[in-house]
Amino acid sequence: MTSRTQKTVYRKNYTPPSFLANTVDLTFDLDPSQTRVTAKTELIHNPQSKSTDIVLYGEDLELVGILLNGRKLAAGEYALENGLLRITKAPEVTRLEIETLICPDKNTTLMGLYLSNGNFFTQCEAEGFRKITYFPDRPDVMAKYTVTLKANKKQFPVLLSNGNLVEEGALPRGRHYAKWEDPFNKPSYLFAIVAGKLVCQEETFTLASGRKVLLQVWVEKGNLDKTAHAMESLKHSIRWDEERYGLELDLDRFMIVAVGDFNMGAMENKGLNIFNTRYVLANPRIATDVDYANIESVVGHEYFHNWTGNRVTCRDWFQLSLKEGLTVFRDQEFSADRIGTKDGRAVKRIEDVRTLRQHQFPEDAGAMAHPVRPDSYEEINNFYTVTIYEKGAEVVRMYQTLLGREGFRKGMDLYFQRHDGQAVTCSDFLAAMADANKQDLTQFENWYSQAGTPRVKLRTRYNKKAQSLSLTLSQSCPPTPEQAKKRPFLIPFAFGLLDAKGKSMVVNSHDVTVRKKLADAPSGTALVQLTRKSQTITLTGVPEKPVISALRNFSAPVILEYDQSDEELALLLSADPDAFNRWDAGQRLALRHLLRLTHAVQHKEALELPSTLVEAYRSVLANDSLDPAFQALALTLPSEIMIAEEMKEIDPQAIVQARHFMLQTLSHSLQDEWLKTYQTIRIPAPYSPEPDNAGKRSLRNLALSYLMEGDDKKLMQLAVTQYDNADNMTDRMAALTALTHAGNLTSKKMAERCLRHFYREFRLEALVIDKWFALQATSPENGAPEMRKLADHPAFTLKNPNRARSLVFGFCMNNMAQFHATDGSGYDFWAENILELDRINPQIAARLSRALTQYNRFKPELKKRARKTLKHIASRKLSRDTGEIINKILAT
């Protein structure tokens, strides 16, 4: 058996592979306890490399034998050490045949080939293929694959791999085989096989060109009634990519397979996408509106990878955002187009920016801060981060903002024209955008190379006599250990002007850096390209001092520093034609007072909420012209994480108390309005997850959650009645969440009864039981003792990533009050689970380790406890995945 040793990999040390693969012929003799893999690979010396050594990677493999050009190699003719198999002075053209044995039933890491519920699955991104056979397992080695699967037919009747099925048949002793060929070159991380007892929904779909293709969604028996939405999402994705980018499905068959044990959300293996069940299975009984939307988004994301990731892939793992950031942007645009309601695109934009601020901004400010294109890593699995994905998507979006939709499409077309079938870099993508539009985007490269969230300060000066307005924009970015000084970014800054009544004003300027026509933006929006540390523009013909609508549609992933009064923010919330900025103004207004309340809690001062905020919320709630989904987002308070991000020293208990006070105040002050909203919204039956109905449900259920903030038994009964009568999981979960999180004795008793019923009703539905665990894990009333009781529940297991995420991650990442308990019990629970998970599944353990990445900003007593816990974990023998995270946190 072999294993890897820990080392740091640097982007600057990239060297081309010494040998390139031409063809790969794989044969799997599938057996749960001992699978035999025969890999026949034709390797050709790479003229860009001076080395004549063949370097192959392997992990947890038993090497049976090696043939080189038909001759068996003796042990002294190759070197095998620390997971590297090296053959020196290999011929220009080398045909290797390598036989290995692997043990799928012992593979709890869920990387490489493993078993889930008796079925075989693979996960090869990033470096899982080396757990299957010795191979030049790197993304810039691309080849055509032929795969033959052999297995017991009764036990494994379905045999799937990438590409097209070219042959199948019977074998002696009740066995059978299937042979698959993928006509396209691909790196090993896109390889996949699936074998087991599965059933599928399939349809023939006609592409825009008239060619017919077979679409299949494979699931375990009993789940076929939950596949319709995934199939519809796939068809919508195919059509959207044809219409928006002119990209057509290039295979005769496209398959989605759902598996319950999976580390990620899904994987874009060429033609054989493997999905976590949570992003495939849905019907009204088990899935919420959010689940339906997520399924459509993730199905779209993985399908879009067929071109942005598969046909054009990344040269090395430092370029991961080349495929992930670009494809997240594409799935965001797809989802926004699919919503179709009045404020649909704004609603999607708000959801995406909220994710960025709640998760990526803290990452940028913590121990795991790294550029969109990292410079080094110890374990690549640790860099599947919100910076790579979500911030990467914002970087791609800025291209479209700067170049317009047509210009962006021109850049995409040139990118595919130049690089189809190649493994390339982020710089290659930038060059395609620049060359297609004849633009100098050299400075834009800083978005790839510099870590941290830029801060943009806006200062204004109005000259009433001259009727002119000066806007001074300045940028900065906090230093990081690797980059003490940051170069200025190219920041597209969109803005508009409103008069005292909330009407848009015309933007006039002779400054060449100001662009007045901006696609996908309301009239009156202008764009400035901020390229220097500070620059000033002057607007003329401004008849009165305006209210500035700054950073419209979040035109760049920056933190805006601009002081506006409560009255100005309230005006923007009520009247800004940019729907995103209406929401953002409300968030800024609420966050300002949440911080003041937090300060008051810390200093034991009286807690008060100004009427300005209450009335601003009242006006949003009363405005029937607004999209209900937008109203729900606008009336949802900033999260505890976002409050923490604005504090120099984080005090979790004070944050929780301050936010709870604001919720209770808004609940009491607007009780009549909340009740009216709840009682008057009518949603037609039967249940449909379509956006209009989903938006109405989100507003109605938000009203219910506010009503539960009091201790009125009659109002509490509304939630119980909704729970009992719900014909869909959205309303059932909303009622149960409202009761569970209300935090008073009346709701607690009601919640206990509903929780018992919920478990009995859905005990056989794994994804719903995940919700049951998560609901209790995030309740502010439940601490570490309750978590340990739940961890002892027969339905709980750390071996399943979804179940681990529902309870342990739910508590440690989303229960601020209890995780940061002053007695340290939350941290102890966290440490116990990290150490146990690290022995089972290091990837999941490493992700859980991130819960304390900002511990050094906690108040002193918590900081001390957190550091003690971190040192305790670090003192143990850790995997490469977890060790990198823990050591980086301790180094801050």
Q: Indicate the domain borders of the chain.
A: 1-196, 313-449, 455-557, 572-890
Give residue 144's identity as a one-letter amino acid code.
K
Q: Tell me whether domains 1-196 and 455-557 share a fold.
A: yes
For tokens 């740091």, the residue is 8
- Whether the CB-CB separation of 633 and 701 falls below 8 Å is answered with no
Taking the CB of residue 260, how many other CB atoms lie within 10 A of it?
A: 21
Taking the CB of residue 5, how many other CB atoms lie within 10 A of it?
A: 9
For the chain, list residues with pLDDT below 50.
Answer: 1-5
Helix axes 289-304, 729-741, angle to 10 degrees: 120
Indicate the class that CATH gives domain 455-557.
mainly beta
For tokens 């670090």, the residue is 874
Residue 798 is encoded by which pair of tokens?
């750390």
pLDDT computed for residue 2 by the predictor = 33
Closest CA to 365 of 644, 702, 48, 66: 644
- Whether the CB-CB separation of 635 and 703 falls below 8 Å is answered with no
Q: What is the CATH number of domain 313-449?
A: 1.10.390.10
pLDDT computed for residue 482 by the predictor = 84
C-alpha torsion sign, points 647, 652, 657, 661: positive
Taking the CB of residue 871, how many other CB atoms lie within 10 A of it?
A: 11
Q: CA-CA distance, 169 to 819, in Å (whole number)? A: 56
Taking the CB of residue 57, how many other CB atoms lie within 10 A of it?
A: 21
Q: What is the DSSP letter of 637?
A: P
Q: CA-CA distance, 529 to 512, in Å (whole number)? A: 10
Q: CA-CA distance, 86 to 325, in Å (whole number)? A: 35
The DSSP H or E segment spanning 889 is: helix 880-890
- Can you give the length of the chain in residues? 892
Q: Is the pTM of this model over 0.85?
A: yes
Q: CA-CA distance, 592 to 797, in Å (whole number)? A: 41
pLDDT computed for residue 710 by the predictor = 85
Q: CA-CA distance, 381 to 846, in Å (whole number)? A: 9
| pLDDT per residue as tens digits for the range 540-577 | 999 999 999 999 999 999 999 999 999 999 999 999 99
The burial of 431, by beta-carbon neighbours within 10 Å (0-12 exposed, 13-18 middle, 19 or more buried), is given as: middle
Roughly how many angstroms between the first and final C-alpha of the chain, as a whole number?
A: 36
CATH superfamily of 572-890: Peptidase M1, alanyl aminopeptidase, C-terminal domain (1.25.50.10)
- Whether the CB-CB separation of 189 and 129 falls below 8 Å is answered with yes
Q: CA-CA distance, 177 to 834, in Å (whole number)? A: 41
The DSSP H or E segment spanning 547 is: strand 547-550
For tokens 């830029």, the residue is 454
For the question of residue 302 being annotated catalytic, the response is: yes
Q: CA-CA distance, 93 to 469, in Å (whole number)? A: 70
Give the CA dihedral 126, 131, 134, 137, nearest 10 degrees.
0
Residue 87 is encoded by which pair of tokens?
């053959």
CATH superfamily of 1-196: tricorn interacting facor f3 domain (2.60.40.1730)
Closest CA to 195 of 214, 234, 168, 222: 168
Closest CA to 888 of 874, 872, 877: 874
pLDDT computed for residue 6 by the predictor = 59
pLDDT computed for residue 513 by the predictor = 80
Provide DSSP, 764-825.
T-HHHHHHHHHHHHT-TT--HHHHHHHHTSTT--TTSHHHHIIIIIHHHHH-HHHHT-TTSH
pLDDT computed for residue 511 by the predictor = 84
pLDDT computed for residue 7 by the predictor = 86
Torsions phi, psi for 847 (to 5 deg) = -70, -35
Give the three-class secondary structure for 775: helix
Query: Do you find a cis peptide bond into 694, omega within 30 degrees of 0?
Result: no
Pairing type for strands 313-314 and 266-267 reads: unpaired
User: Which of the following is catalytic: 296, 302, 363, 394?
Assistant: 302
